[in-house]
């Protein structure tokens, strides 16, 4: 089993990896399919199903699909160019993707939110169709956005293509137990094993530069969020809070009367800065999803700015260790809120952050596995019930609390020798079972929980 660090940490745009990035990627893939067919395509249309329908407006899923059909991709997204493309489409009902003829597409009619039919493969389903000049369907594809920006066609999902089918890697651990066994046998750390796996697929310079870019985008996102105020889009009139909290914390620095627990406010400010940027449609890194994008960078920033002897040279070890844990969760359970609730998003992110922090603070593989388990265990059962389908309430604050739990989990693990009762594998399997049993109204549909008990205006 191999999931790259660049699979777990994707650079993209807000507000959602599964509801914004994934549909945009799916639409771009459909363009590639259209470029390969012998028919002359005249128009396109589509439908959104399940969670993509119920919370699609709040997540800008329709806009993401349209921009994907116009040729945009998350990792190279240009907001200004996207606005121009949307304005032109509204005026002309015409898409002009590269390598294809002009395509008729009326945004008000040709992309339908289907609230009645959930597709069988996953809660996040969408169907795209290409039509000829007579209006006959000449190409149809079903896509599933399975979380974290990962996208599979119906056939790929049936074939198990969400698992790796590339050449063998040196350390193919697919469970926490195997990870610990391989670490003990090889004498390597989790980060060293993960790095060896990455280097078996890509040259060293590419891996190093890619990891550095991941942190640079994360850091830039924090900095933007800490210096931007105002009200978030979407209609809930949620005010950005990270800047005000950060400004107050900076003003209090040097005050000997400051309570020790104030460090939690620093972590919350860093995490909220990221998720406020995400909610505003800014550039973020999936970690492992957009909805949970603030946890890992917050803990890294806490470590760099507040922990003595922290050094940027250890950042790759943090991110590689975190990616290894995220890969185990995705492979054996889920990182999708629409599939397993927020335990799969913020819970997974907290486990990843706890493992990464434990690693760079000198933890053994056993302590790292323990840290990840503690963090995930104490998110079990967490629902995904965003108010008005927006990645704002409770998502933004929830990232702050996920970061605080991650640091606490790493600290507890470092106080022990790695011996503990509940293995990470058992915790991951429990999360999978809880997700399977959880009512659909608590899995990113906004049909239950806070979403129906808080006024949407």
Residue 322 contacts residue 298 (beta carbons within 8 Å): no
pLDDT at residue 166 in the model: 80
Please list the alpha-helical segments (H only) found in 160-203. 176-186, 190-199
The tokens describing 133, both together, are 């000049």
Enumerate residues 6+ apart whose C-beta is below 8 A from 215: 297, 300, 315, 319
**Cα-Cα end-to-end distance for the chain:** 45
pLDDT at residue 165 in the model: 67
pLDDT at residue 130 in the model: 98
The strand pairing partners of 153, in sequence order, are: 143
pLDDT in tens, 362-416: 999 999 999 999 999 999 999 999 999 999 999 999 999 999 999 999 999 999 9
Enumerate residues 6+ apart whose C-beta is below 8 A from 150: 7, 22, 162
* Helix, strand, or coil (residue 103): strand
**Mean pLDDT per 10-residue interval, the chain, length 457 residues:** 94 95 97 94 97 94 97 93 96 96 96 96 97 96 96 92 77 98 98 98 97 98 98 96 97 85 97 97 96 98 97 98 98 96 98 98 98 98 96 98 98 98 98 98 96 86
pLDDT at residue 161 in the model: 62
The Cβ of residue 130 has, within 10 Å, a number of other Cβ atoms equal to 25
Q: What are phi and psi of 331, to 5 degrees?
A: -65, -40
pLDDT at residue 66 in the model: 97
Prediction pTM value:
0.94
pLDDT at residue 455 in the model: 83
Place of tokens 């651990």: 173
Please, is 420 exposed, middle or buried when counting C-beta atoms within 10 Å of its C-beta (0-12, 13-18, 19+)? middle
């Amino acid at each position: 089993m191999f999931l790259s660090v660049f699979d777990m940490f994707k650079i993209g745009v807000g507000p959602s990896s599964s509801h914004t990035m994934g549909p945009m990627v799916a639409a771009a893939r459909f363009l590639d399919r259209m470029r390969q067919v012998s028919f002359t395509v005249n128009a396109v249309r589509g439908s959104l199903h399940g969670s993509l329908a119920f919370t699609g407006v709040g997540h800008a899923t329709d806009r993401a699909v349209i921009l994907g059909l116009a040729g945009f991709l998350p990792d190279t997204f240009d907001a200004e160019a996207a606005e121009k493309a949307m304005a032109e489409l509204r005026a002309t009902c015409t898409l002009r993707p590269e390598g294809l003829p002009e395509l008729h597409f009326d945004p008000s009619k040709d992309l339908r939110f289907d609230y009645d039919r959930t597709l069988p493969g996953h809660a996040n389903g969408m169907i795209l169709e290409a039509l000829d000049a007579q209006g006959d369907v000449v190409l149809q594809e079903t896509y599933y956005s399975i979380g974290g920006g990962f996208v599979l066609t119906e056939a790929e999902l049936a074939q198990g293509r969400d698992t790796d089918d590339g050449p063998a890697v040196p350390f193919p651990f697919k469970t926490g137990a195997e990870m610990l066994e391989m670490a003990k046998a090889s004498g390597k750390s989790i980060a060293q094993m993960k790095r060896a796996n990455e280097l078996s697929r890509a040259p060293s310079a590419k891996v190093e530069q890619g990891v550095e870019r991941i942190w640079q985008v994360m850091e830039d996102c924090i900095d933007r969020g800490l210096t931007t105020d105002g009200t978030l889009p979407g209609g809930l009139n949620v005010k950005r809070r990270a800047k005000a909290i950060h400004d107050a914390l900076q003003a209090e620095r040097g005050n000997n009367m400051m309570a020790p627990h104030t460090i939690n406010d620093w972590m919350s400010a860093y995490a909220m800065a990221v998720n406020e940027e995400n909610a505003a449609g800014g550039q973020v890194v999936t970690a492992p999803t957009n909805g949970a994008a603030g946890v890992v960078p917050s803990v890294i920033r806490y470590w760099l700015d507040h922990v003595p002897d922290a050094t940027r040279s250890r950042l790759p070890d943090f991110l590689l260790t975190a990616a290894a844990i995220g890969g185990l969760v995705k492979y054996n359970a889920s990182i999708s809120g629409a599939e397993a609730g927020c335990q799969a998003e913020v819970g997974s992110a907290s486990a990843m952050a706890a493992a990464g922090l434990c690693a760079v603070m000198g933890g053994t593989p056993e302590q790292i596995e323990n840290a990840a388990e503690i963090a995930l265990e104490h998110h079990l059962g967490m629902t995904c019930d965003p108010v008005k389908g927006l990645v704002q309430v409770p998502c933004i604050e929830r990232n702050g609390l996920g970061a605080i739990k991650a640091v606490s989990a790493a600290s507890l693990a470092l106080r022990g020798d790695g011996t503990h009762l509940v293995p990470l594998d058992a915790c991951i399997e429990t999360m999978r079972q809880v997700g399977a049993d959880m009512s659909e109204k608590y899995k990113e549909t906004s049909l239950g929980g806070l979403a129906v008990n808080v006024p949407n205006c």
